[in-house]
Structure 1
């Protein structure tokens, strides 16, 4: 994921309060697992990670 997309991802989580990984992926040109990987790199936790990838949500720090 490029720097601009990473910055936008953090903004969507922190400022816009979007926690659905599927919804975040819809705003970025990346797959759900790319969003999960990048969010994990920033230290976010997840719920439903081992169940349905389309229902993964980010849990705030």
Structure 2
């Protein structure tokens, strides 16, 4: 994921409080798995990570 998309991802999580990985991927030109990988690299944790990737939520902690 490029730097601009990574910053936008962080902004959507922190400011806009979007926690659904599927919804986040809808705002970015990346697949759900790419969003999961980038969010993980940024230090976010997840709920439902072992289930359907489309249902993964970023932990709000």
User: TM-score if structure 2 supplies the norm length?
Assistant: 0.96
- The CA deviation at 1:20 is 0.0
- The 5-angstrom pairing of residues 30-41 of structure 1 reads 30-41=30-41
TM-aligned CA deviation for residue 5 of structure 1: 0.1
- Measure the CA separation in 2 of the matches of 1:7 and 1:55: 22
Give the whole-Å Cα distance in 2 for the aligned partners of 1:11 and 1:54.
20
Provide structure 2 residue ranges, at least 5 long, that are not aligned to the other structure.
none
Count of matched residue positions in the alignment of Structure 1 and Structure 2: 61
Which string of whole-angstrom CA distances, capped at 9 and with x for unpartnered residues, describes residues 5-37 of structure 1? 000000000000000000000000000000000
The farther-off stretch of 42-51 and 11-20 is 42-51
Normalising by structure 1, we get a TM-score of: 0.96
> Any unmatched runs of 5+ in structure 1?
none
Match of 1:57 in 2: 57
Give the Å deviation of 1:49: 0.8
